[in-house]
Structure 1
Amino acid sequence: MPAQRPEPPHHVLALPDGGLHYTQAGGDAGVPILLIHGSLCDYRYWRWQVPAFAETHRVIAPSLRGCWPDARSHPRAEYAVGRHADDLARLLRALDEHGGAHVIGHSRGAQVALDLAIRAPQLCRSLTLADPGFRFADEPETPVFYADAVQRLRDGDEEKAIEQFIDTVNGADTWRKMVGWFKDMVRDNAATLLSQIREANLPVDPRDAAALSCPVLLVGGSQSPAKYGTRQDRLQQLLPRARRARIALAAHGMNLANPRAFNRTVLDFIAGA
């Protein structure tokens, strides 16, 4: 029987109205890396990035407020992009990282990462946005693709709710094929959709994005749904100096489907940032 994978070290940053759970690894040398997960996830999502990045960097991976192991019920007001960004700024300062970090955000976490870079640019040494899905303020609102999943959650059908969400963002039949640890993580965070839908279609002001001064990397999975590519296209128009990369043999969950390529792409970018 293979050895059980050890759990990462767990820490809690005390906040005035709660706590922020996070893990960290690696030494103190160099600029740290901050990993920001997306919907239905927590810091366990980065299981193939934390040890790899920790070989050369200090790695900080939080579970956003409201996500496992924060067990309070949803919906809740503090599960919001702006609140998450403020929490992460507090975390970096509390860890004495006043010089900032290389910030990496995936999916909804990419919007949190961008908001952090806009609110506290001094804390963002570089910005990697992996399959961002947000709307820009000059675009019309679109139907909320996970509205049906939220209704299923309210009706008590958690498994069908999760299946609808995961298969929409990553491709048909993805949920059925996922490994056990990933399914456990998603089930632990399913209720966050009840809060997330209250912020559906939250826009990003293109002027704020265009004003970013740090190096930016836009990463997409080669098999990701087309909508994520359109977000990267627009960001590249706003940020003509941004770098662009595609992770082969991967869809939305690119860092899990092809972690070697994802890790190499991000570390190469950071090395030159």
Structure 2
Amino acid sequence: MQTLHVNGYDMAYLELGSGPPLVCVHGTLGDFRTWSPVMGPLSQSYRVISVSLRHFFPEHWNGVGDDYRMSQHVADVIAFIEQIEPKPVNLMGHSRGGHISFRVAEARPELLRKLILAEPGGDLDATLDPAAAPVAPSALGARIAASAEKVKAGDIEGALQGFFDGIDGDGAWARLPAAAKQQLRDNAFTLIGQIHENRKPYSKADAQSIKPPTLFIGGAETKGQLPAITRALSPHVLAARTAMIPGARHWMFEQAPQEFCKIVLEFLAG
């Protein structure tokens, strides 16, 4: 493990391989361990740099403070990339980390060579979804809020089961290996911060502003809101590619690592 000092915070990261940089950003309840199933194959061609965002493991955060913000995490990733050479870098984000990566590309496209969004999370505004209700929480947002209340009450297992099963289907938490469960437990208190992170919804103009070549990748079996985000954004991102992995769900790089790496490496080499 190494750290870089960004915006007054020591951001931890893991690095493997050599070659052009590929910076990887985890999602909700993740950390730099999230990408472990694919770091080996990807590092054969790239310098893979997997970050842990502010307040995630190895920090043991108690959920107190007001700097768990989407804007803070975007600023931190930008400041981190600014210290990586050579630039531009490739950037890959999963779920909430996909939203962060999208916003990095929106704000600082010159820092990026290519962008990979693995089922980016978030909400759509009325320009992408006429039925969007700006004052109503999304189903995913409501699930996070319910899980955060359980964390506050000390029911960590109940919080994580509710969150994980809600995304990957009933029984998904029970089927998860022990190491993966521990990673989620290590980051459970970040759910408290996520309730008030001030994440703005995607707009058509946001999507049209993305300049780096972009790959949307997902699991063909993912249900609910996340596939809808990809379907709404991808037609408006210039020359975007979309790849769906058969039989896989939201954590597609764990469930189908070989296919995931094949798609990502082909995109980066193109």
8 A Cα contact 2:61 2:190, kept in partner: no
8 A Cα contact 1:75 1:192, kept in partner: no
Deviation at 1:71, TM superposition (A): 2.0
**Root-mean-square deviation (CA), in Å?**
1.5
Indicate the residue corresponding to 1:113 in structure 2: 101
8 A Cα contact 2:63 2:192, kept in partner: yes
8 A Cα contact 1:210 1:239, kept in partner: yes
Aligned partners of 1:130, 1:201: CA distance in 2, in Å?
18
Indicate the residue corresponding to 1:194 in structure 2: 192
Please give the residue correspondences for 1:73-222 in structure 2 after superposition, counting only pairs within 5 Å.
73-97=62-86, 99-138=87-126, 139-141=132-134, 142-143=137-138, 144-199=142-197, 202-222=200-220
Indicate the residue corresponding to 2:8 in structure 1: 17
Distance 1:96 1:240, change over 3 A: closer
Identity between Structure 1 and Structure 2 (%) = 29
SS in 1 for 2:221: coil
SS in 2 for 1:202: coil
What is the CA deviation profile of residues 95-114 of structure 1, one whole-angstrom value per residue up to 9, with x for unaligned ones?
333x2211111100000000
Where does structure 1 lack aligned partners over 5 or more consecutive residues?
A: 1-9
The residue identity in structure 1 corresponding to 2:3 is V
Question: What is the aligned counterpart of 1:245 among 240, 243, 246?
Answer: 243
SS in 1 for 2:85: coil
Deviation at 1:183, TM superposition (A): 0.6
Does 1:39 pair with 2:24?
Answer: no
Aligned partners of 1:172, 1:133: CA distance in 2, in Å?
20
Q: How many residues end up aligned between the 2 structures?
A: 260
Where does structure 2 lack aligned partners over 5 or more consecutive residues?
A: 127-131
Aligned partners of 1:184, 1:135: CA distance in 2, in Å?
28
Deviation at 1:80, TM superposition (A): 2.0
SS in 2 for 1:199: coil
The residue identity in structure 2 corresponding to 1:218 is F
The residue identity in structure 2 corresponding to 1:179 is P
8 A Cα contact 2:213 2:238, kept in partner: no
Query: Under a length normalisation based on structure 2, what TM-score does the superposition of the two structures give?
Result: 0.91
The residue identity in structure 1 corresponding to 2:38 is Q
Question: What is the aligned counterpart of 2:229 among 228, 231, 252?
Answer: 231
Question: What is the aligned counterpart of 1:62 among 38, 51, 64?
Answer: 51
Does 1:51 pair with 2:40?
Answer: yes
Distance 1:201 1:16, change over 3 A: closer
